[in-house]
Amino acid sequence: MSEAASAQRIDKWLWHARVTKSRSLAQKLAVSGHVRLNREKVDAASKTVKVGDVLTVALERRVLVLKILAIGSRRGPAAEARLLYEDLSPPKPARPAGTTPADGRREAGAGRPTKKERRQIDAFRRSED
């Protein structure tokens, strides 16, 4: 196996693995100090990664720990990108009781009624009269 096929720039690998939306964002992430390669901070986007390396990427809302399984040759679909790494990230913390999920759903009977529930309440009250 040649050196070119066994190693790749860290910014290019992050882009191929779909960690970032663009290669320029991958470069900024690598230079900003939010990426660690085998527990050492990365200070340049040109740093090379190889199979077996472990990347720790601090994103806005989560921390990714990725073990590199392969070097990407192109930025393909997400299913292909997932084959490039093994996700070793810690599980998400449990949500405290009484908080609303991020998608806005809530338990039935908790909080203000929805528009649909409000119409049902109004219909029920009219039927009592």
The CATH architecture that domain 3-87 belongs to is: Roll (3.10)
Q: What is the mean pLDDT of residues 35-58?
A: 94
C-alpha span between 11 and 42 (Å, rounded): 11
Is this prediction's pTM over 0.85? no
Half-sphere CA count of 23, side-chain side, radius 13 A: 9
pLDDT at 27: 95
- Decide if 70 contacts 6 (C-beta within 8 A): no
* pLDDT tens digit sequence for 69-110: 999 999 999 999 999 999 998 887 776 766 666 666 666 667
